[in-house]
């Protein structure tokens, strides 16, 4: 089944008398399925155990009921809300020949006129209305999430795991420095190779050794730190091996091309390709919107103000691009993007620089997207020689 070209609306004609629609409210132990079955006066609602085969049998039963009511079903469309279950159910349904989608949970509008009651039954009815409007091709009812393959999902794991390990590494180092600072010790570097030996040599300002419980805790923290560092190195080494083994694969070719840009490392290139640049995004606006690098204007009558970033996209990409934009100012000083930024921040005000760096990050992401999709090198960019 081809991927959705526009996540805001369906690109297929909607023939309601021949279309069986269903939405699934997922939970850990049970699923609530709401149907839109042609020819039936009732709106069927069925609670199932969390079983894909039971869901498939229910859809087959509803199709037979529609056929008995005089409606031949030529299309079965199923949608569920994004959540902890991921995309496995949708991939399985598509393998059975059923049209299946995942609704972006935050894209479904809810009433704000009073305190909203929330039950699985009410949520299912809300999803049915949103999904029906999406099937009709109307923009504004809901948006769909692009369904990655198992291979695409698995390819994101190393980068995300490394990000978690880096946070754990920083946490351990800060915890050890904090424990020592409470004793007046400030000249210990936990990142040294001989940190374990130096720990036994430490003395407090009073000239005494470290207390036994504190020393035991620091020893355990050092052991965890060494394990985390070893795992980080293993992830980085495995990534380099994959790139060297198959550089012609499209995502790998994108990573190697991005890594040629001075100021962009392998880790940043891998994150950008896996998270955003390898996705079939429609245009440059969709690229910026996915990263959450778009504004949130507040306009009413004569009032005009900007509330800041929408932050509705991928937080990893957004953080990485803002960090990369700051690096660009150092490593690509003669590029057109940096010159554009320097012209608009010539007043030297700190708030202007912070605001414009987000605009630079947006422009930079679009430029890198064009680089890996069309080969268009941003004006003035310095590239390393190809490997």
Averaged pLDDT for residues 261-274: 95
Q: Confidence band (pLDDT; 50, 70, 90) for 387?
A: low
Span 279-293, average pLDDT: 88
The yes-or-no verdict on residue 4 having pLDDT over 50 is no
Stretch 314-331: mean pLDDT, rounded?
Answer: 94
- 136, 10 Cβ separation under 8 angstroms: yes
Please give the DSSP secondary-structure letter assigned to residue 275. I
DSSP codes joined into one string, 97-129: T-EEEEE-GGGS----SSPPP--HHHHHHHHHH
Tell me the C-alpha distance between 326 and 332, whole Å.
10
- Residue 236's pLDDT is what? 96
Give the pLDDT score at 309.
77
Which residue, 200, 149, 176, 142, is CA-closest to 8? 142
Ramachandran assignment for 184, one of left (phi > 0), alpha (psi -120 to 50 degrees), beta (any other): left
Give CA separation, 77 vs 70, 206, 226, in Å.
19, 74, 51
User: Which pLDDT score, from 0 to 100, does residue 172 have?
Assistant: 97
User: What mean pLDDT comes out for the span 344-353?
Assistant: 84
Convert the pLDDT of each residue in 175-228 to its tens digit.
999 999 999 998 899 999 889 898 988 999 998 999 999 999 999 999 999 999
pLDDT at site 280: 87
Share above pLDDT 70 across residues of the chain, in percent, rounded to a whole number = 98
Tokens of 291: 């990263």
Nearest to 24 by CA among 68, 66, 62, 72: 62
| Average pLDDT for the chain | 91
Q: At what angle do helices 52-68 and 88-95 cross, to 10 degrees?
A: 50
Residue of 140 and 93 predicted with greater confidence = 93
pLDDT of residue 352: 86
Q: Which helix (H) or strand (E) holds 21?
A: strand 19-26
Phi, psi of 126 (to 5 degrees): -65, -40
Please return the burial class of 104, using the count of CB atoms within 10 Å of its CB with bins 0-12, 13-18 and 19+.
Answer: middle
Residue whose pair of structure tokens reads 């049998």 in the numeric block: 57
Strands (E), 256-350: 295-300, 303-309
Band (pLDDT 50/70/90 cuts) for residue 328 is: very high
Average pLDDT in the 6-26 region? 90
As given in the structure block, the two tokens for residue 294 are 């778009």
pLDDT confidence tier of residue 2, bands split at 50, 70 and 90: very low
Tell whether the torsion through CA atoms of 180, 185, 190 and 193 is positive or negative.
negative
Whether residue 287 has pLDDT greater than 60: yes
Report the alpha-carbon distance of residue 375 to residue 377 in Å, rounded.
6
């Amino acid at each position: 089944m081809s991927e959705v070209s526009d996540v805001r609306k369906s690109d297929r004609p909607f023939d309601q008398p021949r279309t069986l629609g269903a939405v699934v409210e997922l939970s850990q132990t049970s699923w609530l399925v709401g149907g839109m079955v042609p020819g039936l006066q009732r709106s069927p609602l069925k609670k199932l155990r969390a079983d894909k085969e039971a869901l498939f049998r229910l859809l087959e039963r509803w199709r037979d009921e529609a056929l008995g009511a005089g409606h031949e079903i030529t299309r079965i469309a199923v949608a569920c809300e994004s959540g902890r279950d991921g995309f496995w159910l949708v991939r399985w349904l598509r393998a059975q020949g059923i049209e299946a989608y995942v609704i972006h949970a935050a894209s479904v509008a809810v009433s704000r006129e009073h305190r909203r009651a929330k039950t699985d039954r009410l949520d299912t009815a809300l999803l049915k209305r949103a999904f029906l409007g999406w099937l009709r091709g109307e923009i504004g009812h809901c948006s769909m999430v692009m369904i990655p393959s198992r291979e695409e999902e698995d390819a994101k794991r190393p980068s995300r795991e490394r990000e978690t390990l880096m946070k754990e590494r920083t946490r351990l180092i800060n915890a050890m420095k904090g424990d020592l600072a409470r004793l007046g010790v400030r000249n210990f570097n936990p990142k040294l190779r001989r940190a374990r030996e130096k720990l036994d040599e430490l003395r407090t300002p009073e000239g005494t050794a470290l207390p036994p419980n504190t020393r035991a805790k620091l020893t355990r923290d050092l052991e965890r730190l060494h394990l985390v560092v070893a795992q980080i190195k293993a992830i980085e080494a495995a990534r380099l091996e994959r790139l060297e083994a198959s550089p012609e694969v499209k995502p790998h070719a994108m990573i190697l091309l991005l890594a040629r840009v001075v100021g962009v490392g392998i880790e940043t290139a891998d994150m950008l390709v896996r998270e955003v640049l390898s996705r079939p995004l429609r245009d440059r606006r969709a690229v910026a919107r996915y990263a959450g690098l778009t504004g949130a204007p507040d306009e009413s009558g004569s009032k005009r103000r900007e509330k800041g970033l929408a932050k509705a996209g991928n937080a990893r990409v957004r953080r990485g691009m803002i960090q990369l934009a700051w690096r660009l100012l150092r490593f690509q000083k003669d590029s057109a993007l940096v010159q554009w930024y320097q012209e608009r921040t010539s007043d030297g005000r700190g708030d202007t620089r912070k605001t414009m760096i987000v605009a630079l990050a947006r422009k930079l992401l679009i430029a890198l997207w064009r680089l890996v999709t069309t080969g268009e090198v941003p004006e003035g960019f310095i590239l390393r020689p190809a490997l």
